[in-house]
Amino acid sequence: MARLVLKFGGTSVGDIDRIRNVARHVKREVDAGHHVAVVVSAMSGKTNELVGWCRQSSPIHDAREYDAVVASGEQVTAGLLAITLQAMGVNARSWQGWQIPIRTDGSHGAARIQEIDASEIVRRFEGEGQVAVVAGFQGIAPDNRIATLGRGGSDTSAVAIAAAIAADRCDIYTDVDGVYTTDPRIEPKARRMAKISFEEMLEMASLGAKVLQVRSVELAMVHKVRTFVRSSFIDPDAPGMDDFDNPPGTLICDEDEIVEQQVVTGIAYSKDEAQISLRRVEDRPGVAAAIFGPLADAGVNVDMIVQNISESGDATDMTFTVPAGDLAKATAILEAAKAEMRYDSLQSESGLTKVSVIGIGMRSHTGVAATAFKSLAARSINIKAITTSEIKISILIDGDYTELAVRALHGVYGLDKA
pLDDT digits (tens, 9 = 90+) for 5-60: 999 999 999 999 999 999 999 999 999 999 999 999 999 999 999 999 999 999 88
Q: How many CB atoms lie within 10 A of CB 46?
A: 19
CB 136 within 8 A of CB 41: yes
Q: How confident is the model at residue 313 (pLDDT cuts 50, 70, 90)?
A: low
Residue 341's pLDDT band (cuts 50, 70, 90):
confident
pLDDT for res 62: 93
Instruction: Please tell me the predicted confidence (pLDDT) of residue 287.
Output: 81
Average of per-residue pLDDT across 345-349: 92
**Closest by Cα among 205, 337, 326 to 266:** 205
pLDDT at 247 over 70: yes
Do residues 109 and 145 lie in contact, with contact meaning Cβ atoms separated by under 8 Å? no
187-190 contact pairs (CB < 8 A, 24+): 187/267, 187/406, 187/407, 187/410, 187/416, 189/410, 189/411, 189/415, 189/416, 190/410, 190/415, 190/416
The pLDDT, as a whole number, for residue 208 is 72
Q: What pLDDT does residue 54 have?
A: 94
Q: Of 108 and 290, which is predicted with more confidence?
A: 108
So what's the pLDDT on residue 366?
A: 84
- Compute the distance between CA of residue 411 and CA of residue 32 in angstroms, rounded to an integer: 42
Is the confidence at residue 289, as pLDDT, over 90? no
Reported as a pLDDT band with limits 50, 70 and 90, residue 307 is confident
pLDDT at 312: 64
Give the pLDDT of residue 284: 80
CB 134 within 8 Å of CB 82? no
Residue 418 has pLDDT above 70, yes or no: no
* Residues comprising the chain, all counted: 418
Least confident of 208-217, 294-303, 375-384: 208-217
Whole-angstrom Cα Rg for the chain: 23
In the prediction, which pLDDT does 310 show? 66
Percentage of the chain with pLDDT > 70?
99
Average pLDDT of span 287-295? 88
Condensed to tens digits (0 to 9), the pLDDT of residues 118-149 reads 999 999 999 999 999 999 999 999 999 999 99
Query: What is the reported pTM?
Result: 0.86
Distance CA 57, CA 111 (A): 23
Contact assessment for residue 88 and residue 27, using Cβ atoms and an 8 Å cutoff: yes
pLDDT (mean) for 395-411 = 95
Instruction: Look over the chain and give the mean of its residue pLDDT values, rounded to a whole number.
Output: 92
pLDDT for the residue numbered 168: 95
Is the predicted pLDDT of residue 382 greater than 60, yes or no?
A: yes
- Write down the pLDDT at residue 361: 85
